[in-house]
Structure 1
């Protein structure tokens, strides 16, 4: 079989495997998609009483300045393997509207058919998807005076792309839940850890991650970032390297200026996360390829070179950090409500 044909077959099988299992929805549970999940592509957010969180305030800076009057228009973008009208997304919208009864909430879709929307979250070209959503948001009257947004997994990454690239919309606050701002070292894990066929398929896709077809077809591959292969990442990455302004020859001052227009960036990490590798990517932190340790937020090259304005946004006290003391995408229902009340109400 020709390599490209085999790659397409592997990618399609990869997508099918992600949708094999999806947990049910209980009264106290939201089902929100996850970019990397050990059990199912739709990870369960279980609002258990023992779950806790910590609001991390940068020690070198004071708390954020008073914000402008808050918008009542909101956008939610689902993650990998999810769709725009899933139970988890609908429950998220319900929480927003419970706090802000007259809120307008738009759930981003890549296709009006939920099943096709799921498929396009796994297979597709991220740049084209961001362009399509930019047009989608630009044509919604209720969003024309600005909006705030919540992004789950890769949906949050794409919302950051909207901030940087979409000239006709204004995003005020961006809240991101456990997503790979600095990329991911692993593709989504197999739902069944004993499924050797799935493991071999994923291993093949990972070996071919820099292949042009994979980079334009398999969505998670487009934010794959291995510091040990940084040169290859800069050469072949079709999405994240440009989003992060990491290519010196293609630095976008416009993207940086637009990122700096955010009034607030809220970063949420899960301390027991074993599905996003490394979990610290949610805080714009990355793995040191030599020592194997995590480089702190304000010590990375991305921060010190201020490639998209992260350092300046930080010094303006416009970034808040939350660490949820639990596994990936599991937190108290009250936590989401508190986020909405704090940043949206």
Structure 2
């Protein structure tokens, strides 16, 4: 009976319409597992009325978040979202709350999978310090995680040519490693970020843009004191000018008039429609996972 009861509850919710709010899927960041999103999941369940939430773990959690390629990582997240019939509203939509590397994966889901072949469309994407503009820590040593192994792996991937096929296939962060001193190799060798950012023409460019434009809201949260994402402005699609890794050289998509006018990803169009919100959280990287007041004040309104 105890094994049957959860199934009956889900069936009842589906038939009776118990869940009133758009369901929420949450995804952890690099060298984290679903347990690191437990607080956020609890707060979603506490403050969002009649909501169904799912705290998803991809590739086995902490170690799996480092090894493999980012496309497979995104596919695993998409598979789990699709497999849960509760992760879709009456309109077939889901809200995503995603941290760090997971935020980039969630945007990848929104562009590659959402709204097709049974995958729920994305209504609101809340990105908590995601490296959307790229990640590069140069010779300073990477701090994508406090774990020494994570630092070592990212440093090795960078030192041993992140754009070699083996690194792109074996080290997840290589998929968003963007070397401002070697942009040509980045565009030619990176198998993930140049595609999801539409920095190069590819067969799915138009589809990625159209799907991003279908969002009701894109919420981009970051902080100058993040301490992990480099540069921190990457959370808002900012990145270093080609040939420099100085903080003063960081530019945003709207700083390049020609690119902003062409709008390859659809960010300008989303802004014109009032669908993009940029938030300086004032938090360190893990702060989103620990600060209930910030959740209530700054994240919750986008889930109601």
Alignment of 1:164-179 (within 5 A): 164-166=111-113, 167=116, 168-179=119-130
Structural mapping, 1:1-345, within 5 Å: 71-84=21-34, 86=35, 88-111=36-59, 116-144=60-88, 145-166=92-113, 167=116, 168-186=119-137, 188-189=142-143, 203-207=155-159, 208-250=161-203, 252-290=205-243, 292=246, 293-300=249-256, 303-330=260-287, 332-345=291-304
Report if the CA contact (8 A) 1:185-1:225 is conserved.
yes
CA gap of 1:242–1:176, structure 2 versus 1, over 3 A, is: same
Contact 2:180 2:243 in 1 (8 A): no
Deviations 1:274-312 (A, max 9, x none): 321110000111111356411134114654431211110
Aligned residues: 268
Distance (whole Å) between structure 1 residues aligned to residue 146 and residue 298 of structure 2:
33
Which string of whole-angstrom CA distances, capped at 9 and with x for unpartnered residues, describes residues 127-177 of structure 1? 112122222212211123211111100101000011001122211000111
Distance across 2 between alignment mates of 1:140 and 1:203? 37
Higher alpha-carbon deviation: 132-141 or 209-218: 132-141
SS in 2 for 1:142: coil
What TM-score results when the alignment is normalised by the length of structure 2?
0.80
Could you say if the C-alpha distance between residues 253 and 235 of structure 1 is closer, same or farther in structure 2, counting changes exceeding 3 Å? same
C-alpha displacement of 1:106: 1.0
Q: Per-residue deviation at 1:271? A: 1.9
Could you tell me which runs of 5 or more consecutive residues in structure 1 were left unpaired when the two chains were aligned.
1-69
Q: Is the 8 A contact 2:53 2:87 kept in 1?
A: no
Deviation at 1:183, TM superposition (A): 0.8
Question: 1:117, 1:201 → 2: CA distance?
Answer: 16
Looking at structure 1, the residues matched to 56 and 259 of structure 2 have their Cα atoms a distance apart, in angstroms, of 29
Which piece of structure 1 moves more, 117-126 or 172-181?
117-126
Distance 1:203 1:75 in 2: 31
Say if 1:153 and 1:129 are closer, same or farther in 2 by CA, change over 3 A.
Answer: same
Q: More helix by proportion, 1 or 2?
A: 2
Moved over 6 A (4+): 190-193, 197-201
**How far off its partner does 1:76 sit?**
0.3
TM-score by length of 1: 0.71
Separation in 1, partners of 2:101, 2:144: 18
The CA RMSD measured in Å over matched residues stands at 2.5
Counterpart contact for 1:173–1:264, Cα < 8 Å: yes
Sort the Cα spacing of 1:169 and 1:97 in 2 relative to 1 into closer, same or farther, 3 A. Answer: same
- SS, match of residue 278 in structure 2: strand
Whether the 8 Å CA contact 1:71–1:148 is kept in 2: the answer is no
Q: Would the aligned equivalents of 1:178 and 1:329 in 2 still touch at CA under 8 Å? A: no
